[in-house]
Amino acid sequence: MAMACRDVVICGEPLLRKKARPVREFDQTVQDLFDDMVETLIAEVGLGLAAPQIGESLQALVVRADAEPEEPIYKLLNPRLEFGKELVEIREGCLSLPTLRGDVVRPAEVRVQGLTPEGERITVEATDMLARALQHEYDHLRGVLFTDRVEPGSLVWMVPDEDEEDGFRYDRTTMREAQEAFDRLRQRRRGGD
């Protein structure tokens, strides 16, 4: 089966709030799922993607430390995390909540045990952005979004702005306003507008 870039599920879809099922069989279906996840991750220029974000309620995730093409992509099934003690606050975003950002406190280091797509045991020790991406995607497998962990008052939209040095500005928002915007986006995607 050829790889396919899939649509990313947008905040408000019930699947994003469900706990994903463990993967028990390591067959071509799992290989195809990972191929699609990697292609989608690259196309969306993301750091991580969990299977529920492309409509599959399975404990599968892909992550990388940077969106550069040469950056290795980790593929993990049924991950279990051990967290370090030091906490770091960083502004996060999510492909399922496009252009929304917020400050989230997470451990700076994690140790992840899981399985490869072939069913072999793997351990990944991570710091910095890779650790954050692993935690963020692991949350998706448990039905948790970064907005559940966001620091109060820190939610912002990333808005293109040619006058800004980075090419965008941040406009404050609330979760209610954001959810209304995502509801409209989902409606437009379904052709109901």
Of 107, 193, 95, nearest to 149 by C-alpha is 107
Buried b (16+ CB within 10 A) or exposed e, 44-64: bebbbbbbbbbebebbbbbbb
Residues 6+ apart with CB under 8 A from 58: 20, 21, 22, 23, 33, 51, 52, 77
Compute the distance between CA of residue 20 and CA of residue 78 in angstroms, rounded to an integer. 9
84-98 mean pLDDT: 97
Average pLDDT over residues 40-52: 96
Q: What pLDDT, on the 0 to 100 scale, is given for residue 3?
A: 73
Tell me the percentage of the chain whose pLDDT exceeds 70. Answer: 98
Residue 158 pairs in a beta bridge with 170
Over range 103-123, report the average pLDDT: 97
The per-residue pLDDT for 179 is: 96
Looking at the annotation, which residues are catalytic?
137
Q: Are 101 and 89 in contact (CB under 8 A)?
A: no
CA 83/CA 143 separation, integer angstroms: 19
**DSSP letter string, 153-180:** T--EEEEE-TTSTTSEEEEE--HHHHHH
How far is residue 112's CA from residue 132's CA, in Å, rounded to a whole number?
12
